[in-house]
Amino acid sequence: MTIHYSPLKCTGCAQEFAFPTIARSYTDLPEAGGSGGAHFSEMLLLPVWCHACEGASWGERIPGAREFDTAAGLRRMPGRIACEGIVDDLLEIEEADFRWLYEHLSRRKAPPRCVVCASTRFTPIDFGRRDTSVVHEACWGSPIEFRGFSIGGGGLHIGARSYARLFHDAEGDVAWAALCRQALSTGRLNAVLHATRQDRDHATLTGAIHLIIQPATDAALAVLAPLVAANSPAALGVLGALHYLGEGVTHSGLEAAALLEKAKALGDACAAHNLASLYATGAPGVAKDIAHARQLFGEARAMGGQYERDDFYAQDDFAVANNTFYHPI
C-alpha cells in the first residue's frame, strides 16, 4: 500500500500537485565540530504552496519562544498526562532534538524557507480545509484546493535508485548531503557530498552537488570537470564519491579510492570520510577492510569531517551500523 502525496488540485485545469518526498535534518556544520560533538536534529516541517517552486512543497516550521516554552512545560509533566489530545510535533520529538531546536531556532535570524528551493515566499496549507487560499497563476489564477490524500497500490522497484538526505544548519542553509545508491544486485551504499564554505569554489561545487541530487549527473560532471583538472580537493572528492556509488560514472572502487586518496592528501575531510566508507563496505576492485575503515574514520574526524553521530564511530562493523552493505555481483 502506497500513499500518493498529490492532494492539491487546480480547479481550472485539473492539474494535481504532489508534495515532494524529502528527508531533511538540522545539524552542526562538520568544520565547526571536527573532533566530536556534531548533533543531528529532526526538522519540523509545514505543508506549503511555494510561490517560487509554483507547487506543493514543505517549509521549515520555526516555533516562537512562547511555543517552545509551552512545549517545554508540557514535556516536563509526569507521564505527559496534560499532552493527551494535543497534536504538536514539539511534543513528539526526542529530548535531545527538542533541546537543540530550542537552543538554535529560538535565536534564528533567517526567516523560514521552502526546503526545496530555499524561497521565503510560501503559503501554509491547512489539511483541515478544502480552501487553500492559493491560486494557480499559470491557469489564470484558478483556485487550488486540498482534495485529501489518495491511497493506491504500490509496486516493486527493479534496478538501481538513488535518493539524498539533506542536512541544514541552524539558519536553514544546506550544510551537506548524504547520497544513497541502492540496487538489488549490489546492495546499498552511502556517500557524503560536501563543499565547505571556506572553499574558494564553494558556489560552483554547491551548484554541482545540487545537480547531482536533482538528479542531473551529466550536467554536474560537466561543472566538475575543470575543477577536477585543476586538482580541486573537493571536486576530486565528489567525483570519487560518484565512482564509489556508481552514480553517473563507472561503479569502481579502484577509481573511487584513487580519487578519494588524492583529495584526502590535499586536505579534504569529506573525501577522507567517504574513503573510510569505501573500506567499510567494499566496492568493485576494493575489498572490505574494517580495520582500515576505522583508522580512516578517525583521520576524517580529526580533519573536521564528522558526518555521523558520535556513537557511530564506536561500532565494530560500520556497514551494519549505517545500514549499508555491498556484495559483489
Note the pLDDT tens digit of each residue in 101-112.
Answer: 999 998 898 999
CA distance 89 to 93: 6
User: What is the pLDDT at residue 237?
Assistant: 98
Residues 6 or more apart in contact with residue 277 via CB below 8 angstroms: 189, 190, 191, 192, 244, 293, 318, 322, 324
User: What is the pLDDT at residue 257?
Assistant: 98
C-alpha cell at 4: 500518493
Tell which CATH architecture fits domain 160-326: Alpha Horseshoe (1.25)
0.85 exceeded by pTM: no
Instruction: Show me where the domains of the chain are located.
Output: 2-152, 160-326
Residue ranges of the chain with per-residue pLDDT less than 70: 1-6, 30-37, 79-85, 149-160, 184-186, 319-329
What letter represents residue 101's amino acid? L
User: What is the pLDDT at residue 224?
Assistant: 98
Q: What's phi and psi for 45, nearest 5 deg? A: -125, 150
* Of 94, 168, 222, 34, nearest in space to 239 by CA: 222
In this structure, the number of other CB atoms found within 10 A of the CB of residue 190 comes to 23
* Residues 25 and 43 sit within 8 Å (Cβ to Cβ): yes
Burial class (CB in 10 A: 0-12, 13-18, 19+), 203: exposed
